[in-house]
Structure 1
């Protein structure tokens, strides 16, 4: 496959798609970010790739300047793959989502990890501050059309499965790792989530 062959297959980008990329957070972007409660962070160490979900109440990502965002890092499993990647290769890509809104907001840029206490305390929840905050300087910002969420039925409850279609987290961890787990019951998983959200 070659770039030329791909263009033969797909044709040129529409004028609107080609012109929609901006490099600053305008009022539309700021409004989108005020309502976004979920994002996916893509990172690379220069060789391998990772994606990591981030979520909090709407508006958890702050627009610091017309070009920069601040993103708190909440407790997780401490693998910190994305953070390690950023140290090696600071280019990142972000995909922001608002429940019920089909369109997404994409941001490509460069990230820095900060542990400044005053900065981290700005994102305190339930008396706990994040250990670090990402500062992302945007290079490209653009909206992405809603066709994929529409095709998937992502925001349509009547398209959701009636019951959980996969094993519980701890069942899968046990089977993948052969480590002992305290319980494989979904109620235990939900309890652990609530105890460790912040």
Structure 2
């Protein structure tokens, strides 16, 4: 990229984007309010960002029935963990650096909820049992001490047509299946077999 077009200061950034209005600044608060708790109770999907030891960001999606993330009596978050790929990048990051960011998504809601905080990992059996789905306790949970939160405007959802099925692509085959087979060009049969293995895992290993 040409260096003369690079933005290198906040002043240059604000010259392009503009400064936020005061009422927009005021929406950033340090604890969850009633509306935010109601939003969390309807959210079936979140994106959790953590920071690795090199300062790189990992973002992991986590989903369950709506309201799977609990708000405890102190206004902090409890996020259950289920079966996954066992790479645990995000959890290893939290053990080294507790700072996290979360985006909550609710179907047909244009706004999202953004939360920043400090995370710790826990295995309290009573809490895990309370988080059970389909008779299976959560494996562990992440406690997030909320330090900053605000609703993000809905323009991204509007522009992306996220909640408008008529704009969705009709392709349903797994793109990821191709990558899981490695760099070598694979046959259509091998791709189909990988898709079937993934589908079987999704069917039998959710909880």
The verdict on a shared fold, with TM-score over 0.5 as the criterion, is yes
TM-score by length of 1: 0.91
Moved over 6 A (4+): none
Look up the match of 1:191.
200
Cα RMSD, aligned residues only: 2.1
Q: Does 1:13 align with 2:20?
A: yes
Displacement of 1:95 in angstroms is: 0.1
Greater mean deviation of Cα atoms: 168-177 or 86-95:
168-177
Displacement of 1:63 in angstroms is: 0.6
The residue correspondences of 1:11-90 to structure 2 (distance < 5 A) are 11-46=18-53, 47-90=55-98
CA-to-aligned-CA distance 1:44-73 (integer Å, 9 cap, x gap): 025121000000010101110343010001
Displacement of 1:184 in angstroms is: 3.1
The residue correspondences of 1:64-143 to structure 2 (distance < 5 A) are 64-143=72-151
Note if contact 1:41-1:51 (Cα within 8 Å) is conserved in structure 2: yes
Corresponding residue pairs, total: 196
Query: Partners in 1 of 2:20 and 2:100 — Cα distance?
Result: 23
Look up the match of 2:9.
2
**Unaligned 5+ runs, structure 2:** 1-7
Displacement of 1:134 in angstroms is: 0.6
**Unaligned 5+ runs, structure 1:** none
Note if contact 1:171-1:184 (Cα within 8 Å) is conserved in structure 2: no
Note if contact 2:181-2:191 (Cα within 8 Å) is conserved in structure 1: no
Query: Partners in 2 of 1:177 and 1:194 — Cα distance?
Result: 28
Query: Partners in 1 of 2:184 and 2:136 — Cα distance?
Result: 31
- Greater Rg over alpha carbons, structure: 2
TM-score by length of 2: 0.87
From the superposition, tell whether residues 139 and 176 of structure 1 become closer, same or farther in structure 2 (CA, over 3 Å). Answer: farther
The residue correspondences of 1:135-154 to structure 2 (distance < 5 A) are 135-154=143-162
CA-to-aligned-CA distance 1:132-161 (integer Å, 9 cap, x gap): 111101000100001001101111100001
